[in-house]
Chain A
């Protein structure tokens, strides 16, 4: 393995700068640089780099290409919604705005290659040019010829295409094959690596030691769930305000860990912003245990009857129709336990998901659960359609004209429990799965 600093043809100071910024990625960067070779030498036509999110693929490429001042175009496939944007960006980065303005409206690959070739005649590459495609997996959705053509762009001039992706190459290969790129893997950061990188952006308020042990605790809580550096950094930024008051490393552990566990439900899922998170933490000191319920989806306000409609829809979706009599008929007689066969797990409806039901069944259940508290009107129907609009109900089989419309309930058990609590209805008693 040639080390990063040892590559001839590059300025040593610049290499030093690169090495400083690529903590824990020295091996990968070294290998990459040795594949790229000296600036004026040829690099392999295409290189495919894969690895998990935030394993530093983009970071390494950006730092290397920028610090070493190599001619490059960095293209995010998310932003390049059409290939004409891609062509424009590549031509612009290598040859300036005159070249990119030569492109006709809605240019084809043929136009791009023609102009690229023309420009290369005027300005042949003295150094290898690099085209970096970020999130390359999106190229699969683009024009089928684009990826195979990019992979062999080097037939034009000294240019290499570097694809970055979190999906392995096997899922890219077109049916009739194509030029195979060199595959490089960026392994995930170990816990130690993550600690080292996260400790780098230490806050001036804290001592290094203190910050480091804070990171340690945070990793202890989150490492089993998430190894994504970007996510972890987000968590560090959004939770460290709480540590201000603590200065003693030993106390830190006891005090901070429960908070971090709560952060898992909120900050990690991006349901609250850091400001909200702070407010929550302050509130908590006054009234403990108000955390739950802040979750965004419990904040839906519905009209009274809509709530019952939704409850009825939930029951219709998750109970077998044959059990309706037993649950909703006033005088169904004694419940015979033997009527209920031993339930095989596979038949539990809360595993299989909601079943569609016809409108009349919904209404029957609705009138029975809502008791005599309601006067049935046409407004019921408009409430149903607004539930559909809110995507709390989904309509299925509407293309089948002969059939009456069928619906499915599209809310979770937690949600429906919360809803039925507000109307004093104990839904669990009416669910077949929980009998």
Chain B
């Protein structure tokens, strides 16, 4: 859309907002890789060098990229691949195989996918192989025999690498590392994982064939850098169609990030997680509050977005319980106090509830057992209570032992927020907290 002439173009506010939304959404929602990755130049250079050696000199190699979720492993790899393909040689000859532990759940599927991605389905045909290794060797050999006589470098990318370690005998990993180590063919194996203990998952024979090269993306991010990051992520590029709007927007983002209340919110987020992805989620919620009638981001938006991010899910669910269900939870709380968190069953809860009712004259809460049972089952369905052992088959429902999955403060808070909680119920609950 930015084909429009940049100079002296002035767009109506509606179009500007549409443009802002498109640009920022692409940045926040889909994994577009930035032109220049920030703060990971060293890792970028390292990986690029490594892969270049495979492509240009035909050296085999294996490497793991280890970092927490959303820290940018995939992004790093994509950036490196993009830069690698700038090399003439790479563009001409490099073959890529992308595997993902979530998708290729066993080695048979993985091998099929490798064959497909190397475009060797026809070559393989109905051939039957004695072993996995034989099959893989055949594939690599087939690449050689193509129209080109020299063997082409193959890049194996294993996303969610740790999941491949759960495959039977780790056959795929063993064979890939084996080929890489013995230099049968020029291949590079790049694994991406969020598990720091990934090496411990590998069997000894697999581990001994791995190069033990690891690239870590552990961030040493300071709060200042974090705020800076937020600002860059929200800023519009230079070539925004409406220059004036773009500049004003960027200025407003700068002031936004300096606002004291915003800083407080960001600090809270910074302390819970520093990765890009959770920051993107927060910014996405902010962005959704920008509209034609309010074409700027205000501190209030950030506060609201943060409130959504930190919403207490359990509290939210407790808010919607009926009074009967709430009473049952209070009864459970009483039981837990008296019997020191021993599990309980419906009969005990009902009994405890009856004790509360006896103290009162009106019969507003006098329910039959089946009605109570239905409420109890609802609590179980919401997983607020959970059976002690799951072999429920032979026990009557009312005697099934249960545990409450809420703690003291959660119940307390729920009671305070509960809409129009009857005072007698409140008092009854309080007597448990004394």
Contacts and interface: CB of A to CB of B under 8 A. Distances in A.
Interface in A372-405: 394, 396
A410 B316 CA distance: 37
Contacts of A50: 313, 316-317
A108 B105 contact: yes
A188 B319 contact: yes
Interface in A152-194: 154-155, 158, 166-171, 176-180, 182-185, 187-188, 190
A58 interface: no
A265 B368 contact: yes
A50 B314 CA distance: 11
Contacts of A171: 383
Given A37-B25, A167-B383, A264-B371, A55 B320 contact: yes
Interface stretch (B130-138, B144-152, B283-291): B283-291
A145 B105 contact: yes
B298 interface: no
B228 interface: no
Contact of B311 (A55, A114, A185, A408): A185
Contacts of B70: 179-180
B18 interface: yes
A176 B194 contact: yes
A44 interface: yes
A41 B101 CA distance: 29
B415 interface: no
B419 interface: yes
Interface string B280-324: 010011001101111000000000000011010110110111111
Interface string B364-390: 110111110011000001110000000
Given A225-B371, A412-B398, A42 B29 contact: yes
Interface string B224-247: 000000000000000000000000
Contacts of B374: 268-269
Q: Is the interface of A mostly helix, strand, loop or mixed?
A: loop
Interface stretch (A207-215, A252-260, A351-359): A351-359
A336 B205 CA distance: 77
A345 B351 contact: yes
Interface residues of B, number: 73
A38 B313 CA distance: 28
Given A113-B103, A145-B105, A223-B322, A353 B25 contact: no
A178 to B, nearest CB: 8
Contacts of A180: 70, 277-278, 281
B161 to A, nearest CB: 11
Nearest to A271: B370
Interface string B388-407: 00000011101100000000
Interface string A32-50: 0011011011111100001
Nearest to B326: A224
B116 interface: yes
Given A1-B289, A180-B278, A145 B102 contact: yes
A286 to B, nearest CB: 24
Contact of B320 (A51, A167, A351): A51
Nearest to B101: A145
Contact of B30 (A31, A158, A183, A268): A158
Interface string A125-167: 0000000000000000001010011000011001000000011
Nearest to B301: A1
Contacts of B255: none
Interface string A190-211: 1000000000000000000000
Interface in A24-73: 31, 34-35, 37-38, 40-45, 50-52, 55
B102 A149 contact: yes
A251 interface: no
A227 interface: yes
Contacts of A354: 396, 399
Contacts of A148: 102
Contacts of B170: none
Nearest to A222: B322
B178 interface: no
B69 interface: yes
B178 to A, nearest CB: 23
A345 B190 CA distance: 64
Contacts of A339: none
Contact of B292 (A6, A170, A182, A345): A6
Given A34-B289, A353-B347, 10 more contacts: A34-B288, A52-B317, A109-B103, A110-B104, A114-B116, A154-B30, A170-B314, A171-B383, A176-B195, A353-B398
6 contacts: A9-B18, A50-B313, A51-B317, A145-B105, A225-B323, A412-B398
| Nearest 3 Cβ contacts at the A-B interface | A353-B399, A188-B320, A168-B313
Interface of B: 14, 17-18, 21-22, 25-26, 28-31, 69-70, 101-105, 109, 112-113, 116, 162-163, 194-195, 277-278, 281, 284-285, 288-289, 291-294, 308-309, 311, 313-314, 316-317, 319-324, 339, 345, 347-348, 351, 364-365, 367-371, 374-375, 381-383, 394-396, 398-399, 419
